Every structure is written in structure tokens, then in C-alpha cells.
Amino acid sequence: MGFTKALYYPTIDITNEEWLKTAVLFWDEINTIVPTSISNPYQENTTQYLSDEGILKAMRVNPEIDIIEDLTTDTLNYLNTNEGFQLLTQGQGRYATIHRDKLPRDVSRLFDIHPEKLPYVIQHILRQNITRDGWFRVDSDFAAFYMTLLANKICDTNSIALLTDNALTSNLTDKVRLDNQIAIKGCDHHDFYHHRHQEKYIHLAQGMLTNLIIEGVKIKSSSSLEDVVKFKHRHRDELGLFRINIAKLTKNVSQGKKLDAIRQEVEDIYKDEFLPSYNNFKKALSGSGIKWISDNFMKVSVISTSATALPMALLGLALPQALIAGAGVSLITSLISYNEDKKERLRTNPYSYLLAVDKQV
């Protein structure tokens, strides 16, 4: 069963510490796409710590591996679309270069990609856009398309989920497309391939759903990453229940649809199934408190000699000593009953993990 390993993209290192703290709550292993030649990819204190803990791992790539090489045709097809063609110098055909005048002047719309993440043919096309550091500087639209294409290919091959904190890539729009077909669509000529085809959609949907959940979970600024890791170890059983439930919620996500359509399905699951269930769980716990008070009403009324004495007992007004003693026994008994009821609800509900996060981390 999945939902333990994920791939973060589009960057090599992860600088968003708050997002990372939350992601670690749910995933046992988070990978990032790292060129083979980069020996020390993690420069942040947080990512170095997670790497030492075996939680953050490098997914090594270079142009020699099949995953990169197989993206050549898909990327060329993208560059032949209207969006891609606008970046190319006209009249040079397949081996045109990205025209510098076509690149946006807004620096925020530029993205540097390490050459080892690109097929050799694409490197040749981008040869005039190489920086002094040897990276390729491209328009963010192309970067969003290519990195999403690459990330989905890796997720498919390794059966892991897809995660991102980047607004550009998290939209997962039509930028990953080939003639309106998304890159993660696959063949199902045999039962084996059909099984893998179905599985990769489930993993993709789990990652999308968890992204939405991560957006709603807030960790206290005083909680360190070490605190988060320790908390997760203490609540491993609850996390297991939560994972099983996420798998159930995403098991019927459609196949053969565009990526943005799959994302819409996941957002609907989040709004129509996850949030109502989670909110109902929290209400049920609060409701147990009301039930406990009602329970006391009944138990105290049995001891009470008159109907008017009952509200007096609850308000703490003076009553005969015998009634107070009797009510005290009743209150203690009912409190134990309430605590046991609450404990059972927490033990069996898949969202108790999220409730513990809100209260403890």
C-alpha cells in the first residue's frame, strides 16, 4: 500500500520550512529530483537534518537514464504547440533555439533547470540559454510543463505520490499536455500494465489530497522539526488509520482524464467527503460532553427528592449533605464513562491524528 513515500518538486532543495514540517507529519520518505553530479544537494539546516534522519532522500537523475530520455518526444511536442513555438526562433525547425528576445523580462518568470534533468536533444535546443553556472534559464511556463512531466514520470515509475509547495506547479493545469492528453496516461495492453496504470493514478490523487490537507494544518512556530518527527513517532498508529482512510477516499479517482480534471475530482473529495467527516468527528467529541451532562441529569435526578433540587445541584447551590455525596458518586462515574467514550472515539477515528496535530504540535 502506498501513501508512505512522495516526490517533492520542482526544486532540488526545500526552503519552505513551514510546509516541510507539515509534510513530514504525513510522509515517511520525501524525495527530491537531484542531478547525479550534485553530491550535497541539501543546504538548509532543516533539509540536512531530514536527510540525516533518512526522511529526505535524493532521487538521482541524468540524461542517460530511461526516464529522462523518454521525455524527449513529449518535450518536443510541447515546443511545437503555440505556447512552445512562441519561444522558438522561426524557420529553424526542430533544432531551433529559444530566442532570448522571447524570454520574459520579469525575472520572477524565469526558472533555471540543471542540464542533467534534460534529454540531450532538449539541451541542444536550449544551448543559447545556458548560464555561467552551466544551468539552462527558461521561461517559467516551459519549466512548469517540463518539471511536472518529469515528476509524474518518476512517480509513475516508482509508484510514489506527488507533492509541491509551489503555486506555479500546484495548479497542475494544461501545461502538462500532448494534444490535450496528459503525460501520465499510459498503456494497459496487459493486466500487469493495467494494474500499474491504475495504481499511479491512486498515488497521484493521494498526493493531491494530502497537499490540500497540508494547506489546512498549522504547526506552532515554537515547534521544531525535531518536535514534529518525535510527535509522528508517538502517533504512528493513528497515522496508519489516517493513511488507510485517504486511500479509501481516492480509490475511485477517474482514469484517462486530463491532470486538471483529476485535480478537480480530488478537490471535490476534499470538500464533500474529507472536510465534512473531519468536522463531524470534532463535533461528535464535543457532543460527548453534552451527553455526559445529560447523563448526570438522569443520575442525579434519581437521588434527588424533588424536581426543583436538580438544577440547584448543577448550579452548585446548597443541598442536603446526603444528596451532595450521592451526586458526587454519580459525577465521578459519569466522568469515567465520558473519558472511556472519548478514548474509543479517538482510537478508532482516522482523523484523530489531525486532531492530535492541532493540539500538540
Of 230, 136, 158, 123, the C-alpha closest to 7 is: 158
Read off the C-alpha cell for 322: 446526603
Average confidence (pLDDT) over 78-97:
54
155 within a domain of the structure (yes/no): no
SS3 253: coil
Q: How large is the angle between the packed helices 259-269 and 191-216, nearest 10 degrees?
A: 50
* Rounded Cα gap, residues 261 and 201, in angstroms: 12
| Burial class for 38, CB neighbours closer than 10 Å (0-12, 13-18, 19+) | middle
Whether the per-residue pLDDT at 289 is higher than 90: the answer is no
Q: How large is the angle between the packed helices 17-26 and 45-52, nearest 10 degrees?
A: 20
Rg (CA), the chain: 28
Mean pLDDT estimate for the chain:
77
DSSP string spanning 212-230?
HHHHH----TT--HHHHHH
pTM: 0.74
Read off the C-alpha cell for 18: 513551514
185 within a domain of the structure (yes/no): no
As for how many domains the chain has, the answer is 1
Confidence of residue 296 (pLDDT cuts 50, 70, 90): low
In 62-219, the DSSP E strands lie at 110-113, 136-139, 161-163
295 within a domain of the structure (yes/no): yes
State the pLDDT at residue 23: 92
* Rounded Cα gap, residues 19 and 28, in angstroms: 15
Better-scored residue on pLDDT, 339 or 102: 339
Confidence of residue 128 (pLDDT cuts 50, 70, 90): confident
State the pLDDT at residue 74: 82
Read off the C-alpha cell for 162: 506527488
356 within a domain of the structure (yes/no): yes
Confidence of residue 8 (pLDDT cuts 50, 70, 90): very high
Q: How large is the angle between the packed helices 140-158 and 72-79, nearest 10 degrees?
A: 150
Better-scored residue on pLDDT, 192 or 30: 30
Confidence of residue 50 (pLDDT cuts 50, 70, 90): very high
State the pLDDT at residue 113: 94
Q: How large is the angle between the packed helices 225-234 and 352-360, nearest 10 degrees?
A: 140
Q: What totals of helices (H) and strands (E) does the chain contain, helices first?
A: 16, 6
57-66, 143-152, 227-236: least confident range: 143-152
Cα angle: 54, vertex 52, 66; to 5 degrees = 55
Are 136 and 123 contacting, i.e. CB atoms less than 8 angstroms apart?
yes
153 within a domain of the structure (yes/no): no
Q: Torsion-angle region of residue 139: left (phi > 0), alpha (psi -120 to 50) or beta?
A: beta
Are 317 and 344 contacting, i.e. CB atoms less than 8 angstroms apart?
no
205 within a domain of the structure (yes/no): no
Residue span of the structural domain in which 297 resides: 284-360
Whether the per-residue pLDDT at 96 is higher than 80: the answer is no
How many CB atoms are located within 10 Å of the residue 329 CB? 11
The highest-confidence range among 8-17, 54-63, 144-153, 278-287, by mean pLDDT, is 54-63
Are 361 and 25 contacting, i.e. CB atoms less than 8 angstroms apart?
yes
220 within a domain of the structure (yes/no): no
Read off the C-alpha cell for 163: 507533492
SS3 179: coil
Are 248 and 209 contacting, i.e. CB atoms less than 8 angstroms apart?
no
14 within a domain of the structure (yes/no): no
Are 56 and 32 contacting, i.e. CB atoms less than 8 angstroms apart?
yes
- Which residues lie closer than 8 Å to 46 by C-beta, 6 or more apart? 14, 17, 20, 225
- Which residues lie closer than 8 Å to 79 by C-beta, 6 or more apart? 85, 87, 88, 125, 142
How many CB atoms are located within 10 Å of the residue 132 CB? 5
